[in-house]
Structure 1
Amino acid sequence: MLDRFGDDERAIEGLPIRLVIALVVGVASLGVMMNMLSGLSGLTVTELDAKPSPDVVGPSEGKVDVAVVDPDGNPVSNATVVVTGGTATLDGVVTENTGEDGEVSLTLDPGLAPNQQEGTLEVSIKPPAGSEYADERENTAILVIEG
């Protein structure tokens, strides 16, 4: 008869296979739960896109129309369009809210540094408050070219 635990080598016989089974069952359960969560529309957001027109301008004051649309191309009203200087310069930040048609007309006066032939103005969108919209991806930049 065995009097000490140190002499018993059978204690770990079934442990590795039980751990593997528990791991497989756990991963499968987690996969099912994540699939259920991703199917809920309340947890998802819709990406907005800005479409400036024209998207190529010269280094002088002019009007640029920006349309804010959802992935299906539907206009989004009450979104705030923000234009800032990128590699081109802009005096301050230009902001304006879209109307019912999802469009806004901005007066921009971009500039280029000496010996700079082109630059960009960055366009971002602040979605309407309380909406399921987001602007996480980069929007179309406005290209400023000399000439």
Structure 2
Amino acid sequence: MLATERRRLADLRRDERAIEGLPVRLVIALVVGVASLSVMLNMVSGVQGLAVTELDVRPEPEVTTPGEQDLTLTVVGPDGQPVAGATVVVSGGSAHLDGVATARSDADGSATVSVAPSLGPNREQGTLSVSIKPPAGGQYADRRGNTRILVVAE
């Protein structure tokens, strides 16, 4: 029995086949998987419904003074085209504003809000924050920070 086991061990040591079919199968599976993944990614990137357009706002004026006044805010896409139906929300940042002011953009992308910003004691400047609620439809988003309105003391 000991001699039989020694022969088997010697045969195993001389056997160079090992698991010869496994590496080839792994390579084939990897190539097929990568090809399938690239086709799927191509299909997904070609679907325009999944693309989201980032919105920004262009305030007029960008620099203002404390006190009651009207601000015109134009909602635009990345190429500067106006976006209608977006809700613009102006709130206090480092400048104080009682509550928030909201308006909806018209066909030209413009919205007008009435605000009365004020600065804290010993402050010579501050900012108002502007955020955008995109129109319904899902193709727009407001994920990045928008242009702030600077309020400076007279």
- TM (norm. structure 2) is 0.78
Matched AA of 1:39: G
For structure 1, list consecutive stretches of 5 or more residues without a partner in the other structure: none
Aligned-pair identity (%): 58
The 1-side partners of 2:103 and 2:87 are apart by: 6
The 1-side partners of 2:24 and 2:64 are apart by: 67
Q: In the alignment, which of 101, 107, 121 is matched to residue 114 of structure 2?
A: 107
Q: In the alignment, which residue of structure 2 is the partner of 1:81? A: 88
Q: How big is the shift at 1:125?
A: 0.9
Matched AA of 1:29: S
Q: In the alignment, which of 23, 44, 53 is matched to residue 37 of structure 1?
A: 44
2:128 is the counterpart of 1:121: yes
SS at match of 1:22: helix
2:99 is the counterpart of 1:92: yes
Q: In the alignment, which of 61, 70, 75 is matched to residue 54 of structure 1?
A: 61
For structure 2, list consecutive stretches of 5 or more residues without a partner in the other structure: none
Please say which of residues 91-100 and 72-81 is displaced more in the overlay.
72-81
2:146 is the counterpart of 1:139: yes
How many residue pairs match? The answer is: 145
Structure with the greater alpha carbon radius of gyration? 2
CA RMSD of aligned residues (A): 2.6
Matched AA of 1:59: P
Q: How big is the shift at 1:15?
A: 4.0
- TM (norm. structure 1) is 0.81
Structure with the bigger percentage of helix: 2
The 2-side partners of 1:31 and 1:121 are apart by: 46
Cα 1:93–1:22 change in 2 (3 A) is same
Q: How big is the shift at 1:24?
A: 4.9
The 2-side partners of 1:20 and 1:134 are apart by: 42
